[in-house]
Chain A
């Protein structure tokens, strides 16, 4: 962003906190950008002639006589086909010394889609992972987070999902990514030869936290360009949204706002919703699907960040290590895809819904049997069978290293049913049992 001629330069700051500066200025618009001592900042509060700006890269070393120039416009991203295949920082500036892109500047964080103009999502996103495709089927236009403890391989799973999904563009929004993880994504994308359909906006841990606040809006503005203008199917990966929310609380704290639950700003729900609701199926075929990561602390989903996220997103995927098989699995109990009903049994085989439910129910029986075992009780013959079933189910279907077609998943499930249970124990509608029960 360049300064224009005859712009007023302010040189007297009235207040400085770790993330914000305050000065006297007039004619300033809410949310407009400014350059403070050579650093980008955005107006977050105006009170009479007192203007408060959040300085994205932090205020270290900013003097009270710093030069402040207002741009008169909110943050923008230049959008165009040029975006494809490139890496950008949180401000939308090309990384690795690449040249500026050619394109039309567009305000980030734009208006929401009229719900009446949305199309009902109905296209399956196959990932090859049965823990997702069979039990928690994803659909284009959906928004769903991985809820994971920091030690789980969520970024690896995301990269895998991204590459297997049938998307025209994949947009990575990295917030507080470790440099190693950033390079991991870069490598995976390059090795898959998929770079030309990937766009990345990245803020690493080496960079200031407040900058992260721009990343999702940058990623989604680019996504909207391809989905609306080009009718493309866009998959947006956001990792890690917990760090994004932490950055929100830093700013609100610096502005002396009264903290709401868990020290988060009172507007957390609205702030997250603005991002996640950008997921949409447009009537002309373009779509934006959001898969995000929300890291948890010790699996605690009652914290304000995962809690609010859960109420906005269309389900959640939990990863956990199965102690029985040692595999990382998609937890069938706690995971959920709210949009799966739109495709299972409709775009997939008719037996999908019932097979999925029956398998999870039998897996629950195994969990009960396990509790019995741990409490030192004898197992019934049924319990023994349920446990064996759970072992196979975990190994052949739940593990994230599985990569098979949905029909194969269903056939595998039927085989496991037949191997360990009688038809009545499985309790599936008669007509389906007759058709699919393996002989």
Chain B
């Protein structure tokens, strides 16, 4: 028997429901408004009153409207067909909705129920299996989508029967499993999972030990993110968070990209919708959209659905990780998600924490970031969810609660600086404020030195040091004046500028410069560091600055040219000519 109830109170999208039976925290219910069902989630219970947040507009709702509880939490549907889909925050397929405007209660299936798939079994009857073990696979775009033992099964099972290779409908039973008590479970190609619980059906979660290539120099070279790692990008609005996220989505070395537009501007999502179907995946040559799933919750969609959207995205990521894939999950922006939490907490009239956010905000954020990671699956292979969230700190203040809480939870910190953005130094990641904790992991250091070049980590640290010293020299010059400091200070400043202009800055809108493979990053960093070690003779600081600008120009032209092309080498030759003009012994 399902619990039923009726509406007794309405405060914006918080509705109070008097219930006639048991209800669970986070249980889903439908409120019926003249034949239209509005989805809602229980967020507080007092006595026989359930407080539910409605994922829709509550306009027109009345006291007495009937409510039906569903007996489960908010769930996503998992199975073949998730790739290339555009979902709202509750996993409704946006493409299946009628009309230009989103109508309340227009809920569409996440997967195409009638679709058929080429199934190939991996196991044979008699095999012992547990949750997340692979039973078979179907080709989905270019992924070998694994059909797995449902994550909800906790016992050990034996495969009683499995269908032979062939074409089946999503809802067909493809295997029957039996547990020790002799109970049978029919397995289809789709399953459901509550979004707010992590999928933990894997063997172990080691510390990340590989890096994930992104093609963005200031990340890969200076502050690399690990495969299965976590990072976040805080920055005031207008500093290029979104451009950077799009670059990561396009270029990162991942098998699958999930983009959660969380309370995002619709036109920015449209940009993804318009661009991705045409963009080629630089690694596979196929369309980018084929490996992308978009969770799109624009800022004007109901606030409760915004809160759900990041969880929906993470759960889909964990599902593909269980197939042994490298998933990159991007969420823009987690601040808006936190704002959604704040809004509901405010409606519930909870006593506010710092900046009016709920008191448990740090715990919620930490818990969410902890769902990322590289894992060893039951069969020993690896899969990963790498998570990068953006944070939009109010007024650019990095001491506000969302940034502070995220800083504790994420291992990479990519601080966007207003100053860099103002002077159009993009990406505006401040390499001094930013850090990657992964660079300190011995296993990552070993990986970098082995896979890029033997002395790589030292070279990177040295380059950071030069940037730092250049910044100090610049401050001295500003305090004492150009001619108030030794020429040496100018030299130091300009060497840091070379690193800034050639390595840190990158033109996201240039076809070639936008994506720099690691091999090329190595070549350019070594080239720049070679120059940093050179001594030049100058007659004065003005000559010094003019000379370095020429060097920078030649190096920038190299960045704009195809790697190791004739053009590239010509600029390099030009560079060497310039370098030889003033080299001191």
- Cα separation A310 to B553 with both chains bound (whole Å): 35
Contacts A46-B10, A302-B396 given; indicate if A30 touches B62 (C-beta within 8 A). Answer: yes
Specify which chain B residues have a CB less than 8 angstroms from the CB of A282 in the assembled complex.
100
Q: Is A66 engaged at the interface, CB distance under 8 Å to the other chain? A: no
B584 at the interface (CB under 8 A from A): no
Given contacts A112-B102, A113-B101, A118-B267, contact A45 B11 (CB under 8 A): yes
Give A263 to B335 CA distance when docked, in angstroms: 19
B186 proximity list for chain A (CB < 8 A): none
Confirm or deny: A425 has a beta carbon within 8 angstroms of a beta carbon on chain B: yes
Query: A46 — which chain B residues lie within 8 A by C-beta?
Result: 9-11, 62-63
A48-B9, A266-B346, A339-B267 in contact; A30/B395 too (CB < 8 A)? no
From 186 to 223 in chain B, residues with beta carbon under 8 angstroms from any chain A beta carbon are none
Enumerate chain A residues within 8 angstroms of B94, measured Cβ to Cβ.
114-116
Q: Nearest Cβ distance between residue B54 and chain A, in whole angstroms?
A: 10
Complex contacts, B509 vs chain A, CB 8 Å: 341, 353
B residues near A32, Cβ cutoff 8 Å: 60
A276 to B86, CA, bound (A): 22
Q: Which of B266, B345, B397, B481 contacts A280 (CB 8 A)?
A: B266
Q: Are A117 and B296 in contact (CB under 8 A)?
A: no
B396 neighbours in A (Cβ, 8 Å): 302
Taking a contact as CB atoms under 8 Å apart, the answer to whether A114 and B101 are in contact is: yes
Q: Which chain A residues (306-323) contact chain B, with CB distance < 8 Å?
A: 307, 310-316
Q: Which of A234-242, A254-262, A387-395, A404-412 contacts B (4 or more CB under 8 A)?
A: A254-262
Q: Identify the closest chain A residue to B557 (Cβ).
A: A430
Residue contact A378 to B481, C-beta cutoff 8 Å: yes
Q: Which residues of A contact B423 (CB under 8 A)?
A: 360-361, 364
A372 touches B481 (CB 8 A): yes
Cross-chain contact B63 with A26 (CB below 8 angstroms): yes
Contact digits for B497-525, partner A, Cβ 8 Å, 1 yes 0 no: 00000000000010000000000000000
In the complex, chain B residues 306-359 whose Cβ is within 8 Å of any chain A Cβ? 333, 335-336, 339, 342-343, 345-347, 349, 351-352, 355-356
B62 lies within 8 A of A27 (CB)? yes
- A74 touches B (CB below 8 Å): yes
B163 located at the interface, meaning its Cβ lies under 8 Å from any Cβ of chain A in the complex: no
Which one of B174-182, B252-260, B269-277, B379-387 contacts A?
B269-277
| B424 adjacent to chain A (CB < 8 Å) | yes
In the complex the two chains form, is A380's CB within 8 Å of B9's CB? no
* Residue of chain B at shortest CB distance from A25: B63
Residue ID in chain A nearest B306 by CB atoms = A270
A416 lies within 8 A of chain B by Cβ: no
| C-alpha spacing A74/B336, complex, angstroms | 28
Inter-chain contact B274/A120, CB cutoff 8 Å: yes
User: In angstroms, how far is the closest chain A Cβ from the Cβ of B499?
Assistant: 16
How far is the CB of A307 from the nearest CB of chain B, in Å?
5
Q: Are B102 and A111 in touch, CB under 8 angstroms?
A: yes
Are A118 and B270 also in contact (CB < 8 A) when A265-B346, A266-B342, A273-B300 are? yes
Q: In the complex where A27-B62, A304-B394 touch, is A382 in contact with B356 (Cβ < 8 A)? A: no
Annotate A132-145 by CB proximity to B: 1 below 8 A, 0 otherwise.
00000000011000
B482 at interface, CB cutoff 8 A: yes
Expressed in whole angstroms, the minimum distance between the Cβ of A110 and any Cβ of chain B is 7
B343 touches A266 (CB 8 A): yes
Count residues of A near B (Cβ-Cβ below 8 Å): 87
- Report the separation of the CA atoms of residues A120 and B263 in the bound assembly, to the nearest whole angstrom: 18
Residues of A close to B378: CB separation below 8 A:
none
Interface residues of B in 10-59 (CB under 8 A from A): 10-12, 16, 57-59
How far, in whole Å, are A398 and B351 apart by their CA atoms in the complex?
Answer: 48
Question: Judging by beta carbons under 8 Å apart, are B102 and A336 in contact?
Answer: no
A5-49 residues with Cβ-Cβ distance < 8 A to B are: 26-32, 44-49
The answer to whether A179 has its CB under 8 Å from any CB of chain B is no
User: From residue 52 to 105 of chain A, which have CB atoms closer than 8 A to chain B?
Assistant: 74
Task: Indicate whether A311 sits within 8 Å of B101 (C-beta atoms), given known contacts A112-B298, A118-B270, A142-B267.
Answer: no
B469 within 8 A of A: no
Contact of A267 among B299, B301, B303, B333 (CB under 8 A): B303
Contact (Cβ within 8 A) B422 A333:
yes
How close is B36's CB to chain A, nearest CB, in angstroms? 12
Contact of B542 among A74, A142, A266, A382 (CB under 8 A): A382
Residue contact A378 to B336, C-beta cutoff 8 Å: no
* 7 CB < 8 A contacts A-B: A45-B11, A120-B273, A261-B356, A277-B265, A302-B396, A311-B299, A377-B484
Q: A339-B267, A364-B422, A378-B482 are known contacts; what are 13 more A-B pairs with Cβ within 8 Å?
A: A27-B63, A30-B58, A47-B8, A47-B11, A47-B16, A114-B94, A265-B346, A304-B394, A338-B242, A364-B423, A364-B424, A378-B481, A382-B542
The 10 nearest A-B residue pairs measured at CB: A302-B395, A266-B346, A277-B300, A273-B299, A377-B481, A120-B274, A260-B356, A310-B237, A116-B94, A31-B59
